[in-house]
Structure 1
Amino acid sequence: MPTRSTATPGDTKIRLLDAAEALFIDAGYEAMSMRLITARAGANLAAVNYHFGSKDALIHAMLTRRLDGLNQNRLALLERFQLSLGQQLTCEHILGAMFIPALQQSRCPEKSGPALLRLLGRAYTDSSPFIRNFLRGMYADVAERFFRAFQTVLPHLPREELGWRLHFCIGSLSGILAGADTNSLIDDFTQGQRLEDPQLIGRLALVMVAALKAPLPPANGTCPFASMFAEREPVASNGAATVMANASNEDPPTCDVASQHATA
């Protein structure tokens, strides 16, 4: 006589979340399908509809179960640094508030362990409108709190310039986390020598702080790469040159680039 399954509805819900998380880390949002998720979870479509209602609601729940607590811990540490240090707050402290909770959570197996870092990398590099809108909608206040903190320690940087620099730094890190096993990468760089978490964050901060504190571009707008590109471009005909000259005299389109990057 066949044995009766002892799986509970709660078990099925967790399996669906775990399956969605694993598939998202491996392939990103657009490559996921309900068929792949349910097959990996050993469940059926009715279970997804019962527990979540839709694929997007399932992905929403999968991300919030990891990111909500993480971002609360980040903000708590940032606030602690701000209150205790005041004007002595530095870029290193703000970066520490961003990365220490993530690294600590990645050491906890019950909180997805090392997979958390790859999840963060994938979430912040995934190009699908759903993921972008989710992060902007759910965690815009977190991004803005950190952005304002960086403004207090880098007051000479215009908002747009600071936005670009943070976008490049965090985007580069996210790309590494999304595409590689972090522990293996660290072993390669350190040639097998143990690197403690404070040392790891110290190495990371060293590079990011250097990028954030780099000199501002020349005020006159000159760029050393402009002449390099010009040397590779063919000589334009008189007509084409006229069109290009007219285009260069038009006012460039304006957009609040910093606000976009602040909520990315």
Structure 2
Amino acid sequence: MALQSVSGRTQSADTKTRILDATEDLFVEFGYESMSLRQITSAAQVNLASVNYHFGGKEALIQAVLSRRMDKLNDERLKLLDALQSTQGAALTCEHVLVAMFLPALRMAGFDEAGGPRFLRFLGRAYTDVSSVVQDFVNGHYTSSLGRFFDAFQQTLPQLPRQELGFRLHFAMGAVAGVLASSNTNRLVHDFTRGQSDDEAVVIGRLAALMVAALNAPLPDPAQLDALKTIIARADESRAAESSR
């Protein structure tokens, strides 16, 4: 009886893992709203009753998928941020914060247990999926982690008002997530690093160069705005002249 019980638990665990794996694959390819429970049960080779038994429904299922990957990632990110803040103190820079943010993800992507290279696509999808179910979970479940990183960035960029920093981070991280969500993530990373995608310092260095530039970019001064207004006015005049011909 004991052996049968162990076998039953193993089979149940295997079923649950197949459901999670199938859901993750479909989520990465199509997004939350475009995947159905019918597709999930077909890919996992289970019936709907199994999904309901283990997860209770589609919303709870995607939350379990997100937690399975992102809980560990956020724990590793916070541990590294704590270590860097402890050793650097007031000398903490944007580069330190970005290392804490990106290095754990790169290393998890290097292990099959975390989904391998597809892990980066999964992260890109998780941060860019338009579903309120996904975004509410990510923003709510990881509020503490997001707040810690925001405070760290603010420490390194004290000249930026909080609202401006928030906009710039949203813009920069959204751009990175959009690239990661692409179906050609591996090729994009390879091209982005000029063939050195296996070098952690190169990957993070290239990302940091772009993000730090975006975060530190000065706002346009009145003279620059006037110059842009002139360019826009001339463009409109040229278009109007071309239309009148």
**TM-score normalised to the size of structure 2?**
0.87
Listed one character per residue, the Cα deviations across residues 138-183 of structure 1 (whole Å, up to 9, x for unaligned) are 0111111100101111000011111111111100010000013332
Q: Distance in 2 between matches of 1:221 and 1:212?
A: 19
Letter in 2 for 1:139: Y
Q: Is residue 134 of structure 2 the alignment partner of residue 131 of structure 1?
A: yes
Corresponding residue for residue 241 of structure 2: none
Corresponding residue for residue 46 of structure 2: 43
Listed one character per residue, the Cα deviations across residues 75-112 of structure 1 (whole Å, up to 9, x for unaligned) are 11001100111011000000000000000001010111
Q: Is residue 165 of structure 2 the alignment partner of residue 162 of structure 1?
A: yes
Quote the RMSD (CA, aligned, Å).
2.2
- 1:1-264 matches, within 5 Å, as 8-189=11-192, 192=195, 195-218=198-221, 222=225, 224-231=227-234
Letter in 1 for 2:29: D
With over 3 angstroms needed to count, the CA separation of the structure-2 counterparts of 1:192 and 1:83, relative to structure 1, is closer
Corresponding residue for residue 248 of structure 1: none
- Name the one with the larger helix percent: 2
- Percent of matched pairs sharing the same residue: 52
Listed one character per residue, the Cα deviations across residues 208-251 of structure 1 (whole Å, up to 9, x for unaligned) are 111111113437994654444455569xxxxxxxxxxxxxxxxx
With over 3 angstroms needed to count, the CA separation of the structure-2 counterparts of 1:196 and 1:40, relative to structure 1, is same
Q: Distance in 2 between matches of 1:190 and 1:153?
A: 26
CA contact (8 A) 2:193 2:203 kept: no
With over 3 angstroms needed to count, the CA separation of the structure-2 counterparts of 1:193 and 1:100, relative to structure 1, is closer
Pairs aligned (count): 230
- Structure 1's unaligned 5+ residue stretches are 235-264
With over 3 angstroms needed to count, the CA separation of the structure-2 counterparts of 1:151 and 1:27, relative to structure 1, is same
With over 3 angstroms needed to count, the CA separation of the structure-2 counterparts of 1:219 and 1:194, relative to structure 1, is closer
CA contact (8 A) 2:193 2:206 kept: no
Identify the range of structure 1 (75-84 vs 191-200) with the bigger mean alpha-carbon deviation: 191-200
Q: Distance in 1 between matches of 2:119 and 2:196?
A: 23
With over 3 angstroms needed to count, the CA separation of the structure-2 counterparts of 1:20 and 1:127, relative to structure 1, is same
CA contact (8 A) 2:108 2:114 kept: yes
Letter in 2 for 1:30: E
Q: Which protein has greater RCO, CA pairs closer than 8 Å, 6+ apart?
A: 1
- Structure 2's unaligned 5+ residue stretches are 1-6, 238-245
Shift in Å, 1:200: 1.0
Shift in Å, 1:192: 4.4
Q: Distance in 1 between matches of 2:125 and 2:226?
A: 33
Q: Distance in 1 between matches of 2:29 and 2:221?
A: 42
Q: Distance in 2 between matches of 1:89 and 1:223?
A: 37
Identify the range of structure 1 (184-193 vs 145-154) with the bigger mean alpha-carbon deviation: 184-193
Q: Distance in 1 between matches of 2:29 and 2:74?
A: 23
